[in-house]
Amino acid sequence: MEIVSGTAADEILERIFQPTAKPSALDQAEDTLRHPKKLVYAAMSNRNFYWRHHIQKFVLDSGMVPISPFMLFDYYLLHTVPKQTVREAMNNLLSRSDEVWVFGKLSLGVKVQIGIAKRLNKRIRYFDISELPVAAMPISEETAAEEFRD
């Protein structure tokens, strides 16, 4: 049986309980480039505009990066630019996303976004947000279409 000296035990304990250094900005950037997260386009009716922060948090907590038109463009940039310009920008972001997550009721605009996502073969997920801010619950496309019509 090997005898461990007190100094060896102290060295081991020192390594175990030594505070770890926070990664530098460069380390964080390198890690992000090596392990990029998926981009999720958050589609929602303007009637759910007030839930936009909770939806952003939900996507981030799911380990994804949210792309939310209402966070980027507010509500058509407070009507200071033509709606068509904002819609084109939103569709551009949708085309660059990895997935599309649909929150709440299906308005005409959300249905168009779903149609674009389907044509681009994007993964689409649907969520019931009637329990926000507590929870967003995954639902099927059929349930979304039946129960959450706008």
pLDDT at 3: 59
Tokens of 65: 């990066």
Residue 38: alpha-carbon gap to chain centroid: 8
For 30-40, write each residue's pLDDT tens digit.
Answer: 887 788 899 99
Query: 65 forms bridges with which residues in the sheet?
Result: 39
Domain regions of the chain by residue span: 38-147
pLDDT at 4: 54
What number does CATH give the domain 38-147?
3.40.50.450
The pLDDT score that the predictor gives to residue 150 is 47
The residue count for the chain: 150
- Select from 127, 143, 150, 146 the least CA-distant residue to 59: 127
Grouped pLDDT means (10 residues each) for the chain, 150 residues: 66 80 81 86 90 94 92 77 88 96 93 96 95 87 71
**Cα(46)–Cα(101) distance, integer angstroms:** 15
